[in-house]
Amino acid sequence: MLLFVCAEPADGEATADRLAVKVLKLRIFADAAGKMNLDVAAVGGGLLVVSQFTLAADTEAGHRPGFSGAAGPEQGRRLCDRVVATARRLHPDVAQGEFGADMQVHLVNDGPVTIPLVLRRR
């Protein structure tokens, strides 16, 4: 499972922890009947966490996206690392992209299933 993480300024460690737990418990993989009913552990899958600040892009005005809605680099790195650390405590197969790097990420979508998760802050 590929998880793109975008931290926003109001996010904190509790949000990062909730995200990791939520993602690992999502029942998005098909069972024997073809129904989305299994989580990543049930299918023996792994998790790749990649920081992606561009998910906070504001495209409301003009044609150039703005990224002021994303957390700054220090906070973004800290929260992305927190998601990874929490996920690693709960699941044996968790990998992490390099924060801030210009990475080439290749994805094969199964289905395709792409689910945006927006956690409300508590």
For residue 112, the model assigns a pLDDT of 78
Question: How far is it, in rounded angstroms, from Cα 26 to Cα 101?
Answer: 28
Enumerate domains of the chain plus CATH numbers.
Answer: 2-96 (3.50.80.10)
Residue of 15, 52, 86, 96 marked catalytic: 52
| Rounded alpha-carbon distances, angstroms, from residue 22 to 86, 118, 122 | 11, 11, 15
Catalytic site includes residue 52? yes
pLDDT of residue 121: 62
Strand 47-51 to 94-96 pairing: parallel
Q: The whole model's pTM is what?
A: 0.92
Cα–Cα–Cα angle for 24, 99, 113, rounded to 5 degrees: 40
Identify the active-site residue in 53, 86, 96, 99: 53
pLDDT at position 42 is 98
- Amino acid present at 34: G
HSE of 119 in the Cβ direction (CA atoms, 13 Å)? 20
Q: What pLDDT score does 122 carry?
A: 59
Residue 66: the pLDDT is: 96
Does the annotation count 29 as an active-site position?
no
State residue 57's pLDDT score: 95
Block mean pLDDT (10 aa), the chain, length 122: 95 96 96 96 97 94 95 97 98 95 88 84 60
